[in-house]
Amino acid sequence: MDKKNEILQAMFVLFSQKGYQASIADLAKQVNLKPSSIYSHFGSKDEIVFLTVEQEVNEFFGCMETAGQKSDSPEKTLYNLLQAVLDYFKDHNRLRFWKSIVLIQQVELRKQCQILIRQREQAHIHFVEGLFETMILEGNLSQNCKKGALSLYLCLGNGLLDIMLANQEESFDFESFAEDSWQFYQMAIR
């Protein structure tokens, strides 16, 4: 791995732990450089953070694209997508990283990151809407329920991630909880 990628990987870990409070000194220590040497690879801390966010966003949505191709039924594809999200964020560093993006103090950087995420997110939501359209055509979902089914699906995913973050101890049976939540979702949209 070249030094630039090593710096980005180190920023991922630091950002997941400290958010935007991660300093160039922290970063330099992680990659065995002097703080001033970081700037021979990048122009600013904001550039490092943005490129780290961009890498993570691309990796996450790449996983979603792969998960969306694994099934022949829209219902199974929806389940696969939800499961892919939950599997992806089992690494709690990833979950903390994503939660820290909205807390970036630098307004311009936060906006750039949000735009990047929204662009990829909109394409993903459009794909999911297509799954609901297929369900409508197949008679498995009422046209009147499409918007609500989509909103509920997105809330289910976000809610499960929040529960995952809040219940990291081993005694909580998250997999059973997530499976029950999926079953309730299926009943609700029928």
What confidence tier does 1 reach under pLDDT thresholds 50, 70, 90? Answer: low
Quote the pLDDT of residue 118: 96
DSSP state string for the chain: --HHHHHHHHHHHHHHHHGGG--HHHHHHHTT--HHHHTTT-S-HHHHHHHHHHHHHHHHHHHHHHHTTS-SSHHHHHHHHHHHHHHHTTSHHHHHHHHHHTT-S-HHHHHHHHHHHHHHHHHHHHHHHHHHHHHHHTTSS-GGGHHHHHHHHHHHHHHHHHHHHH--STTS-HHHHHHHHHHHHHHHH-
Tens-digit pLDDT profile for residues 156-182: 999 999 998 888 777 788 899 999 999
pLDDT value at 70 more than 90: no
Whether domain 45-189 has CATH 1.10.357.10: the reply is yes
Domains of the chain: which residue ranges? 45-189
Quote the pLDDT of residue 64: 96
